[in-house]
Structure 1
């Protein structure tokens, strides 16, 4: 079981830091992502079953549900920002049944940088991370969910640079070990330590609740340390 899970992990370790041309087609539009300081106080939120967006990264999404299509259209008419949040599973101790799926209070907002209308009437979009946020309350009045949010800055301290480099090396060693057993290719190089850590956290196959814990870490150093612990527990 664990070995099969690790094999899927290797297959899923796709690096989506930049996705130019991913959604090539006649109906594609492209726009730049705003700076984190421009995160508005109210944003639409899209609950996801297992996808989590991390700072500095992008994520491709296929949008089909009518309410989500309406969200995309409205976002394109304004600041292009959509918040990605994880739904609470029924197994979570804080799960509360209600008219809308319960969600975790911390998510990550992204700006639509690419969009394409597809044959099923939905959209293929790419979201580029803008900032993490905490939900303070939800508002009504739209067919989709709207939340009042406050931005959460990433903890980046100059005196943590060496420690983050060391944790990256540990993480690379762990991933190389997995590659040796299950045929995973070499770990991509040439990315900043922060983006490397976030890229592994976003794509490695782990429990969604663990991925949410990674997102909630104060910054890349704490995230790297938790990720290393999680991978060590997964390794047979």
Structure 2
């Protein structure tokens, strides 16, 4: 079974439970926000966030003398797995723009991208199942990932407060690590698409150990940083 969902292509990867603030200035997305706000309480006030493989769907805000928006992206420009953003707070500005606060809610697979009567992009999506409870394997992996994450953060930001509040839930932890570690878009997208929490935690353990090893090398070996450079994430 598939559902039709309005989608907002972005250069970031949204995870369930993570906050995503957005400034809405293009008219097609203003229309989307207005429709969501006006919809009934029984209708989910959410839209899909799908990550762009390259380029940008939304141009930088050019002000009042804006050129017409660029054409909507094609299906091949988008990753296959996205996450819905649920509206939590909307502030309408005097000129009709919006500042919105959203929270990631549920994951989906894009089956097809459509341009219908709406000014914004829509997609046929299939919802990805969520685990009711993390598996026993995930519960075993979670403290190991948390330890590796603390080590990574201490190397990345010495003498700073590290994880004041630690999630008790293994799935929530897996999403937090995926969203906050300095990973590439491709790596984040891979983690979003993982079939279950245990698989995501296992992959994160490998990534965190790799990143911690790289950071340790940067500190211990007097070589130019360019020799150890990795592609930077645009997030």
Common topology (TM > 0.5): yes
Structure 2: which 5+ residue stretches go unaligned?
56-70, 215-235
Mean alpha-carbon deviation: is it higher for 62-71 or for 98-107?
98-107
Runs of 4+ in 1 over 3 A off after TM superposition: 118-121, 155-158
Mean alpha-carbon deviation: is it higher for 98-107 or for 73-82?
98-107
Structure with max Cα Rg:
2
Q: How does 1:136-175 map to 2 (within 5 A)?
A: 136-140=111-115, 141-155=117-131, 160-161=135-136, 163-175=137-149
Q: How does 1:118-137 map to 2 (within 5 A)?
A: 118=93, 121-137=96-112
Q: Displacement of 1:66 after TM fit?
A: 2.1
2:50 match: 85
Q: How does 1:7-86 map to 2 (within 5 A)?
A: 41-49=3-11, 51-78=12-39, 79=43, 80-86=45-51
Aligned residue for 2:179, secondary structure, equals helix
User: How far apart in 1 are the matches of 2:90 and 2:126?
Assistant: 26
TM-score normalised to structure 2 length: 0.71
8 Å contact kept, 1:156–1:220: no
8 Å contact kept, 1:45–1:83: yes
Across the aligned residues of Structure 1 and Structure 2, the Cα RMSD in angstroms comes to 2.4
TM-score normalised to structure 1 length: 0.71
Q: Displacement of 1:199 after TM fit?
A: 1.2
2:177 match: 200
Q: Displacement of 1:123 after TM fit?
A: 1.7
Q: Which has the higher contact order (CA 8 A, sep 6+)?
A: 1
8 Å contact kept, 2:22–2:99: yes
Deviations 1:46-65 (A, max 9, x none): 0011x222123332222222
User: How far apart in 1 are the matches of 2:54 and 2:168?
Assistant: 33
2:64 match: none
